[in-house]
Amino acid sequence: MAGQDFGKALGMLLRPQLQQLPLAVIDEVIVRAGDYIDIGTPLFGGSVVPVTVKSLAFPS
């Protein structure tokens, strides 16, 4: 998971090394320590996945 827009390039770099293993590269998602990430079912033939970032807030 990356905050910048380089998911496709990273996937193309890793694909030959992983051979037939499943690979998902998700980019343009900003997270902080303690965040929870939910990754949904792929859409549009697997080119898009819904991502939800959840931050827990506790009263101080």
Total number of domains constituting the chain:
1
pLDDT band at 1 (very low <50, low <70, confident <90, very high): low
Determine the Cα–Cα distance for residues 24 and 33; give it in Å rounded to an integer.
Answer: 21
- Judge whether 43 lies within some domain: yes
Tens digit of pLDDT for each residue in 6-57? 788 888 899 999 988 988 888 888 888 889 999 999 899 888 889 999 988 8
- 């193309």: which residue's tokens? 12
pLDDT band at 5 (very low <50, low <70, confident <90, very high): confident
Query: Both tokens of residue 1?
Result: 């998971």
- Judge whether 1 lies within some domain: no
Q: Model pTM?
A: 0.62
- Judge whether 36 lies within some domain: yes
Q: How far is CA 27 from the centre of its chain?
A: 6
Domain that holds residue 17: 7-54
Q: Is 59 helix (H, G, I), strand (E, B) or coil?
A: coil
